[in-house]
Amino acid sequence: MLDVHPPHSATHTWKDFFIHIATIVVGLLIAVGLEQAVEAIHHRHQREELIAAFRGECESNIKLADLNIPQIRSNRVWEQRWLDVLRKSALDPHVATITLPARPATNLGSSIGHSVWTIAKSNGTAALIPETLAEVYDRTDHEIDEFYISGDNYGTALRRLGNLARADGFAFNSRVPGPAISVELSPQQRSELIAALSDLIGHDNDLIHWNAILRAASQAVVDNVGSRAAMRPYFNRAQAEDAVE
Report residue 4's pLDDT band, with 50, 70 and 90 as the boundaries.
Answer: very low
Q: What is the DSSP letter of 8?
A: S
Choose the weakest-confidence range: 111-120, 157-166, 168-177, 231-240. Answer: 168-177
Q: What share of the chain has pLDDT > 70, as a percent?
A: 87
pLDDT at position 1 is 45
- 163-205 residue pLDDT tens: 999 999 888 888 888 899 999 999 999 999 999 999 999 999 9
First-to-final CA distance of the chain: 116
CA angle at 178 for the pair 173 and 181, rounded to the nearest 5°: 105
- 83-115 residue pLDDT tens: 999 999 888 888 999 999 998 888 777 788 889
Q: What is the pTM (predicted TM-score) of this model?
A: 0.80
DSSP string, 37-50: HHHHHHHHHHHHHH
List the alpha helices (DSSP H) in the chain: 14-88, 116-123, 131-167, 187-222, 232-244
Q: Where are the domains of the chain?
A: 15-244
Assess contact for 198 and 232: CB atoms under 8 A: no
Report residue 2's pLDDT band, with 50, 70 and 90 as the boundaries.
Answer: very low
Most confident of 2-6, 72-76, 174-178: 72-76
